[in-house]
Structure 1
Amino acid sequence: MQGLQSRRPHSWRLMVSFVAAAAVLSTSLSACTTPITGSADSTASSSNKLQAPTEESPSGEITIWDRSGDLFEVFENTIADFNKKYPNIKVHHEAVDIDAKLQNTLITGTDVPDGVFLDDAKVSAFTDHLWDLSDVLNPYINDISKQKVDVNRKGDGIYGVPFDLNPGLLYYNEKALKAAGIDPTTIKTYDDLLKAAKDYKAFKPDAGPIHIERAGFLSQLQLEMYASQQGTSLGDSEGKLRLDSAEYRQILTWLDTVNKEGLGTRTEYLDATDIAELENGNEVFYPWAIWYSFAPEQMLKETRGDWRAMELPAWKSGGARSGAMGGSSFVLPKNGKNSQLAWLFYKFLMFDKDGYSKVWGTSSTYPNGLTTSIPSYLPAADPKEPLFTPTEALGKQDLWAVATEAGSQIPGGTPIPSWWTGAVDYLGTNIQLMYDGKLSVDEVITNSSNDIQKNLVDRQ
């Protein structure tokens, strides 16, 4: 295992790991003609819906795939506790390059794992190969964040056990704002954030107070966070494109204003330039997913302890103060040999207090707990029962309370269409061209919509 200081947060890696692979994912899977015949589980093979095992003391062996790194270690540390409850289930926990192996494994049906950790953005492309988990999730469904249920839903089925919730937050440099005489508690809307940025720039003329993302993929992902606040997304529940809308026009106009008025620092998330601008006090507002907490905890030296988090501003007064930015779930392939037993493992991790406390609690991997996400299972995300502890990096602020409140405001979502990542070649690129002054907001919307529709949606 790499040292903690050298790692980027798991959510960052989960978001960027599938960029190359997902561009061809949908085409490859749709071309596959090999039928999926179902699991070897005798009580589950009669339909596409997985059923829970009925044995009083179930036994067998399961193979679980996770990515190598920090989360692998977190999940590895839960197995002993799982075996206290299910002593007759042996867990083979394997660190796998999921992007490289999963697609071909599902197509060939050879050595298929029983459970896989998968980006939410990939679930919809794999559903023909996965168990519908509607029945086993039914006892918990009303207690899971609606957004996470929605992104795992396709038609009448639910194909992933929801893992993390990644609420968008506004991180800010409290010390720098105080020196400028700016009270962050007055920031309630995005217009308020613009005003605060202008006030800070008047105090520090060289500053670009608000982070503007330079990477195409991450700029599109951040755009979806803003859209999620307004209850929309690039694809509707049936995968139809809906970029040409008042909501996206409002968001892009705001981003264009930040850029044109010199109120933004345009850098790639936590690259060397970004870190330098954060440390020198030029960049003091960072609207991002909760996993930005990794920056003050692990990467910022000069301003460590100066940062705080609050809910995102609202797009209109009284509107939602957070949106989802990324996420992952657990899926169970139909051709896994012991899918029912794998369900028990994920049920323990996500819905059993002993399990989720182990996942998000303090560990050798995360000494203060897993501060880069919160559980999507609402009883586990109780504001009054924190699973991770305050850190010095955020001035001992109670990030758990801020994040769980923000998470509770995220509107419902839709399944992430299989063409989403491919859209970065158009929308993500065009956002950058807008920042370059080469495209207007309307041109970003029109050009991106036409290209995504023609080259991606129509080819499904």
Structure 2
Amino acid sequence: MHLTRTATVRTAAAGAAAVLATVALTACGPDISAPAESSDPNVLQAPSEESPSGEITIWDREGDLFTVFENTIAAFNEKYPDITVNHVAVDIDAKLQNTLITGTDVPDGVFLDDARVSSFTDFLWDLSDVLEPYAADIAPQKLAVNTAADGIYGIPFDLDPGLLYYNEAALTAAGVDATQIETYDDLLDAARAYQEKVPSARPIHLEQAPFLAQLQLEMYANQLGTSLGDEAGELRLDSPEYERILTFLDTVNDEGLGTRAEYLSPTDIGELENGNQVFYPWAIWFSFAPQQLLPETSGDWRAMELPAWEAGGARSGAMGGSSFVLPKDGENSDLAWLFYEFLMFDEAGYSAVWGPNEVYPNGLNTSIPSYLPAADPASPLFGEVEALGGQDLWEVATSAGAEIPAAGPIPTWWGGAVDYLGNDLQRMLDGDLEPAEVISQSTEQIQTNLIDRQ
């Protein structure tokens, strides 16, 4: 369900570990001395007034996060009493593009999938100056996905680390210790061992929806420090990293070790509940399933960092995510910046978002903050998850998040690539294509039909 808020997947010189070290050295908070203001009229500047006033219109999707953000407005107004927030639930995917093109009734701030930010940069403020005091303390992957050309066009919201969810009760009963899994080869061995004890099992989830399959593919690629597009937006699918990932998925399929189903479809849920599907490599937001959709096995599930592709490699990659963007035609986008600055970088704000609240009494546990001081493993914002056997998911997720490598910006053609790569991946699982054919065919189609036509 978190997918409806964040489902569509950062230029920073240091890796996540280096950034965490920086956070430790700046525990008292970022240096907020004002940078030199840019002369570029496309670069947003923060309000200079001591007590700014005005009215802002903020667009969010209808749903649980809308209510979470709505409930932060009172705390924001304690800090900025003269800013009125009009918070509106909107079908952003249907309405935003036309609104930006026509310039009519343009909102001051919008909640947007990371994968869509690059499509709208011509209409958005470059946020480089206002984000400068915080940039060193933002997860590198999130900073990179909001970077295009020489600007930063999104205020990072959530970090969605990939985790390996597993049915501990079912695996233990079969004599398989999931905690010994360190690499994807180990995962294959564990799946084989489980299937020997439970012949009906297809232990590992294989995603059947083309879009989600491509999103998961990018999670695996992020672990290996790559992505479909490089910093210049050039395609780099034809690589040893993607061949390795596709070969792994092909092996799972060919050996009958995978349950092929759409994410949390009735078939998927049924195979999770009956113990046939016991490994789910997915974003943190899968935690919704044992809490809401798996009553028979709720409490049996656990989460751990993803396996590494090789010993000592990264144990997580990002899968999906969202940010906030500020349209240039908004009347008071500079005031909207103050709202998002409060939500993401002020302790009172991010505690209201991820901490216990009216919607999530135990805290919002389907993502973690992308602002690293807020994602302190020692200072959890949400509590232990009963549906995961009382596990400390905060510690698992923040540790995994610290291992996510930096990546390249998401290119404007990423969504269109699903028609080729996402579909060809499914054809591979159908047995129609080999991994090398997926790479060669999708590379040619994406280059010819998407990139060369831009």
Please indicate the TM-score interval, normalised by the length of the shorter structure.
over 0.9
The equivalent position to 1:450 in structure 2, one of 436, 444, 453, is 444
For the residue of structure 2 that corresponds to 1:380, the secondary structure is helix
* Cross-structure match for 2:27: none
- 5 Å-filtered alignment, 1:163-242, equals 163-242=157-236
Number of residues of Structure 1 aligned to a counterpart in Structure 2: 427
Question: Residue 394 of structure 1 aligns to which amino acid in structure 2?
Answer: L
Kindly state the Cα deviation for residue 108 of structure 1 after the two structures are TM-superposed.
Answer: 1.1
Distance (whole Å) between structure 2 residues aligned to residue 431 and residue 155 of structure 1: 30
Give the letter aligned to residue 356 of structure 1.
Y
The answer on whether the counterparts of 1:12 and 1:291 sit within 8 Å (CA) in structure 2 is no
Q: Is the 8 A contact 1:169 1:322 kept in 2?
A: yes
Q: Amino acid of the residue matched to residue 47 of structure 1?
A: P
Pairing 1:116-127 to 2, within 5 Å after superposition: 116-127=110-121
2:69: which partner in 1? 75
Q: Which residue of 2 aligns with 1:243?
A: 237
In the alignment, structure 2 segments of 5+ residues that lack a partner are 10-36
Q: Secondary structure at the match of 1:181?
A: coil
Q: Which residue of 1 is the match for residue 48 of structure 2?
A: 54
Residues 1:347 and 2:341 aligned together? yes
Give 1:15's aligned amino acid: A
Counterparts in 2 of 1:331-346, with a 5 A limit? 331-346=325-340
Measured in 1, the distance between the counterparts of 2:56 and 2:38 equals 16
What is the CA-CA distance between 1:45 and the residue it aligns to? 9.2
**C-alpha offsets along residues 62-88 of structure 1, whole Å, 9 cap, x if unaligned?**
010001111100000000000000000
2:263 maps to 1:273? no
**Equivalence map 1:291-370=2 (5 Å):** 291-370=285-364
Q: 2:6 is matched with which residue?
A: 14
Distance 2:66 2:282 in 1: 24
* In 2, Cα distance between equivalents of 1:381 and 1:12: 23
Distance in 2 (alpha carbons) for counterparts of 1:340 and 1:16: 26
Q: Which amino acid aligns with 2:434?
A: S
Aligned to 1:145: 139
Structure 1 residue 16 displacement after superposition? 6.6
Cα deviation digits, residues 295-319 of structure 1 (max 9, x gap): 0000001100000000000001100
Q: SS of 1:358's equivalent?
A: helix
- Provide Cα deviations, 1:139-176, integer angstroms capped at 9, x if missing partner: 00000000000000012110000000000000000001
Displacement of 1:105: 1.0
State the secondary structure of the residue aligned to 2:111.
strand
Kindly provide the CA deviation profile for residues 46-99 of structure 1, in whole angstroms up to 9, marking residues without a partner as x: 611111111111111001000111110000000000000000000000011111
What root-mean-square deviation, in Å, do the aligned CA atoms of Structure 1 and Structure 2 show? 1.3
Aligned counterpart, 1:35: none
Q: What amino acid is the match of 2:314?
A: A
- How far 1:364 moved relative to its partner? 2.0
Q: TM-score, normalised by structure 1?
A: 0.91
Match for 2:368 among 370, 374, 377? 374
* Equivalent runs, 1:379-390 vs 2, <5 Å: 379-390=373-384
Contact 2:315 2:403 in 1 (8 A): yes
Match of 1:255 in 2: 249
Distance in 1 between residues matched to 2:108 and 2:432, nearest whole Å: 49
Q: For 2:413, which of 411, 414, 419 is the aligned residue? A: 419
Structure 1, unpaired ranges of 5+:
1-7, 18-42
